[in-house]
Amino acid sequence: MSRRARSLLGVALPVSAIVLFVVLLAFSLMRLSDLERDMRIEVTQNMLWVISRAHISSLQLGEAVAGSVAGEVDAGQMELRYNVFLSRIALLDDGPQRRRMDALGAAAPLDALHGSLPELGTLVMSARPETMPRIRALLAPYNAALTEAANKAMVAEWDDLGATLDATREQLWQIILLMIGISLAGTVLCFHFLLAIRDARQRTRLLNKEKAFSELLIDSSGEAIIALDMDRRCTVWNDGAERLFGHGAHSATGSLLHELSGFFEVDRVDQAVGDALHGRAAALLDQPFFPPHQCEPLYVDLRCFSLRDTGRIIGAILLISDVTERRAAQREIADHRDHLEHLVQARTQELDAALTRERATADLYRNFGTMVSHQFRTPLALVDSALQRLIRRRDQLDPAEILERGEQARNAIARLVRLVESTLDAARLDAGQIEVRSQACDLGHLVADICTRQAEDAGGRGITVTLADDTSPVAYCDPVHAEHILTNLLSNAVKYSPKATPIDVTVEEVGAQIECVVTNAATQEVLFESEALFDRYYRGSNTEGRPGIGVGLYMARMLARLQGGDVQLRESAPGMVRLAMLLPKSASGSDPVAAMALEQEPA
Which residues touch 496 (CB under 8 Å, ≥6 apart)? 520, 522, 526, 540, 542, 543, 546
* Predicted TM-score (pTM) of this structure: 0.35
Q: Give SS3 for 232.
A: coil
135, burial (CB in 10 Å: exposed 0-12, middle 13-18, buried 19+): buried
Q: Residue 594: is its pLDDT beyond 50? A: no
pLDDT for residue 452 is more than 50: yes
More confident residue, 385 or 231: 231
| In the chain, domain spans | 11-191, 223-322, 338-432, 434-600
DSSP state at residue 532 = G
SS3 128: coil
Say yes or no to pLDDT of 172 above 70: yes
Predicted pLDDT at 4: 64
Fold (topology level) of 223-322: Beta-Lactamase (3.30.450)
Residue 6 has pLDDT above 70, yes or no: no
Region 386-413 average pLDDT: 73
Shortest CA distance to 327 belongs to which of 371, 297, 362, 353? 297
More confident residue, 12 or 344: 344
When comparing pLDDT for 416 and 510, which is higher?
A: 510
Band of the pLDDT at 428, cuts 50, 70, 90? low
Distance (Å) of CA 154 to CA 52, 92, 478, 510: 11, 16, 168, 162
With a cut of 50, say whether residue 589 has pLDDT above it.
Answer: no
> What distance in Å separates the CA atoms of residue 291 and residue 285, rounded to the nearest whole number?
17
Q: What is the DSSP string of 464-507?
A: EEEEGGG---EEEE-HHHHHHHHHHHHHHHHHSS-TTS-EEEEE
pLDDT-derived band of residue 596, with 50, 70 and 90 as boundaries?
very low
DSSP one-letter string for 42-90: -TGGGHHHHHHHHHHHHHHHHHHHHHHHHT-S-HHHHHHHHHHHHHHHH
At the topology level of CATH, where does 338-432 sit? Helix Hairpins (1.10.287)
**CA distances (Å), origin 361, targets 353, 366, 511, 550:** 11, 8, 38, 14
Contact 337, 310 (CB under 8 A): no
E strand spans, 160-297: 224-229, 234-237, 282-289
β-strand partners of 53: none
Alpha carbon distance, N-terminus to C-terminus of the chain: 108
DSSP string, 196-260: HHHHHHHHHHHHHHHHHHHHHHHHH-SSEEEEEETT-BEEEE-HHHHHHH---HHHHTTSBHHHH
Report yes or no: 556 and 448 within 8 Å, Cβ to Cβ.
no
Least confident of 60-64, 101-105, 417-421, 489-493: 417-421
Q: Which of 481, 477, 448 is closest to 586 using CA atoms?
A: 477
The model's confidence at residue 158, banded by pLDDT at 50, 70 and 90, is confident
Is the pLDDT reported for residue 582 higher than 60?
A: yes
pLDDT averaged over the chain? Answer: 77
pLDDT band (50, 70, 90) for residue 549: low
Interatomic CA distance for residues 463 and 444, integer angstroms: 14
191-195, 315-319, 410-414: the lowest-pLDDT one: 410-414
- Between residues 267 and 553, the one the model is more confident about: 267
- Per residue, the 3-state secondary structure of 92-117, as one string, reads HCCHHHHHHHHHHCCHHHHHHHHHHH
Q: Which amino acid is present at 468?
A: A
**What is the per-residue pLDDT for 584?**
92
Per-residue confidence at 304, pLDDT binned at 50, 70, 90?
A: very high
Give the pLDDT of residue 8: 64
- Asked if residues 369 and 538 have their Cβ atoms less than 8 Å apart, the reply is no
pLDDT reading at 174 higher than 50: yes
Residue 314 has pLDDT above 70, yes or no: yes
pLDDT of residue 601: 39
With beta carbons less than 8 A apart as the criterion, state whether 491 and 450 touch. no
Element (H, E) at 519: strand 513-521
CATH architecture for segment(s) 434-600: 2-Layer Sandwich (3.30)
**Residue 93 confidence (pLDDT):** 78
Our measurement of the distance from residue 439's CA atom to the centroid of its chain's CA atoms, rounded to an integer in Å, reads 70
Phi, psi at 313, each rounded to 5°:
-75, 125
Highest mean pLDDT among 170-184, 297-311, 492-506, 535-549: 297-311
Mean pLDDT over 367-380 rounds to 54
Cβ proximity of 517 and 583 under 8 Å: no
pLDDT at 373 over 70: no
Judged against a pLDDT cut of 50, whether residue 590 lies above it is answered with: no
Q: Which pLDDT score is estimated for 412?
A: 66
Answer with the residue of higher pLDDT: 371 or 415.
415
603 pLDDT more than 50: no
pLDDT, tens only, 201-250? 888 888 777 767 666 666 666 688 888 899 989 988 888 888 888 888 88
**8 Å CB contact between 482 and 555:** no
Among left, alpha and beta (phi > 0; psi -120 to 50; other), residue 468 is: beta
Per-residue exposure over 282-300, b if at least 16 CB sit within 10 Å of its own CB, e if not: bebeebebebeeeeeebbb
pLDDT at 324 over 70: yes
What percent of the chain is predicted at pLDDT more than 70? 77
What CA–CA distance (Å, rounded) separates 499 from 497? 6
Query: Residues 38, 168: contact at Cβ < 8 Å?
Result: yes
Q: Which one-letter DSSP state was computed for residue 470?
A: G
3-state secondary structure of 212: helix
pLDDT of residue 173: 84
Instruction: Mean pLDDT check: name the lowest of 11-20, 257-266, 477-486, 514-523.
Output: 11-20
256: three-class secondary structure by DSSP:
strand
Contacts of 568 (CB under 8 A, 6+ apart): 579, 580, 582
